[in-house]
Amino acid sequence: MATINATINVSSSDLTSSPLALSKTMTMTKAGLSTGLEFTSGLVRRKLTATTKIDLVTVGAQMYGTPTASKANKLYIKNTGSSSVDYVEIAIGDKAGGSPEAAEELLGTAGDSFITLGKLFGGDWMLIPFEGTANNDILVTPSTAEVTTIEWMLFFE
Amino acid sequence: MATTTNSLTLTSTDLFEDSLSISNTSTCYKAGTTIGLDQTTGLKKTYLTATTQIDLFTVMDATNAAENGKVYIANLSEDVEEYITIAIGDAVIGRLYAGDFMWMPYSPKLHLSSDIELTPSVATGMWFEYMCIHNFSAIDPVAIDTRIYADE
C-alpha cells in the first residue's frame, strides 16, 4: 500500500460578502478499506495538435495495469497551458469515431456517445473519481490546433 | 468580478521509489476571459437517509454550455465502507468514499443529461457537502427529474 494525500484549497475574499476558505485533505484509499491505493498510470504528458476528440483515459486493460471498475479510483488532469482563451473540453463516454461525429446525447450502451463535463483552460486542473466501466472513457477535445499540452495521472486499484 | 483561487497538492513518499509532489494553483475565471466567476451556490452541507439518487445541480439554461463553472463535492462520512456515486446524466463519473472530494469543471450543455447527480450507498444517513462556483444564468438543486432515455 501507499499513502497518497490530496489537499484542495478554495478561497476568495470577495465572491461572497463573507470570505470563502475551504480546505480539505483526503488520503486515497481502496474501496471500503483504510489501506491506500497502490497503482498508478504515472504522470502522463501529451501534446495535442488538432481539435479532434480523443480518448485520453480508456477503461479496461492498459499498459500500466487494469483499473478495477467501480472502486475508489481517482483521476487528475491538468491543462498545462497559460491561455485564458484556449481550452480542452473534457467529456465522459466512448470515443466518437464515427463520421459524422455522433451528437452529444444521453450516454448509450454502445459507443459514440458522450456527455461533456466542462472545460479546462490554461492552468486549470481537475480531480475526479474514475468509474472505469464500459463506455466511461475520459475524452478530451482541444479548442485549438495549436499545441495544447495536458497532463494526467490515474490512481487505481 | 470576484477573485477565487483554487489549489491542489498531491503528494506521496511511497507510491514510487521517488517522491510524488504535484502542486497547482489557478483562478476561477469566466470562459475565455480573465474575469473572475462571480456567483456561487454557496457551500452546502446535506444529510441523506435514503439511497435515492438526487440532483445536486440541474441544468436550468442550455446557454450555460459555453461557461466555465467549477464543482466541488465531498463525502463527509467517516465509515470507510460508505460511498456516494457521482454521475452526470446517465454517465457515472465515479465513487467518492468516506473523506474523498472531487473538483471538476462544469459546462452544462443539455437539460437533464448534464445534471450532476448523487446516490448514497446506504440509507443509514450520510453527510456530504457540495458547491458550484459559476456565472450561470440559473442553477438550483431539486429532486431528480423524470427523463426520457434516448434508447427507450
Mutate to test the interface with A, among B1, B4, B81, B115 (most CBs of A within 10 A): B4
Interface check B138 vs A, CB under 8 A:
no
Burial class (CB in 10 A: 0-12, 13-18, 19+), B48: middle
What letter represents residue A52's amino acid?
A: T
Q: For residues A150 and A56, is the Cβ–Cβ distance under 8 A?
A: yes
C-alpha cell at B26: 489557478
Interface check B21 vs A, CB under 8 A:
no
Query: Cα(B71)–Cα(B104) distance, rounded to whole angstroms?
Result: 5
Phi, psi (deg, nearest 5) at residue B54: -125, 155
Report CB contact under 8 Å: A121, B89. Answer: no
Q: How many domains does chain B have?
A: 1
Query: Cα(A18)–Cα(A30) distance, rounded to whole angstroms?
Result: 37
Q: What's the pLDDT band for B61 if we cut at 50, 70, 90?
A: low
The partner residues of A40 in beta bridges, in order of sequence, read A155
The DSSP code for B146 is P
Q: What CATH number is associated with residue B88?
A: 2.60.120.10
Q: What's the pLDDT band for A95 if we cut at 50, 70, 90?
A: low
Query: Cα(A34)–Cα(B78) distance, rounded to whole angstroms?
Result: 11
Is residue A108 predicted with pLDDT exceeding 50? no
Question: How confident is the model over A4-12, as a mean pLDDT?
Answer: 98
Query: Cα(B58)–Cα(B73) distance, rounded to whole angstroms?
Result: 15
Q: Length of chain B in residues, anyone?
A: 152
What is the strand order of the sheet A20-27 is part of? Answer: A20-27, A4-12, B4-12, B20-27
Does ipTM top 0.85? Answer: yes
Domain covering A39-156 in this structure, CATH number:
2.60.120.10
pTM of the model: 0.92
Is there a domain that residue B13 lies in?
A: no
Q: What count of CB pairs under 8 Å joins A to B? A: 214
Is there a domain that residue B129 lies in?
A: yes
Minimal Cβ distance to B91: which of A72, A93, A123: A93
User: What domain range is B54 assigned to?
Assistant: 39-140
Is there a domain that residue B150 lies in?
A: no
pLDDT by residue (tens digit) across B89-104? 878 999 999 999 999 9
Is there a domain that residue B54 lies in?
A: yes
Is there a domain that residue B151 lies in?
A: no
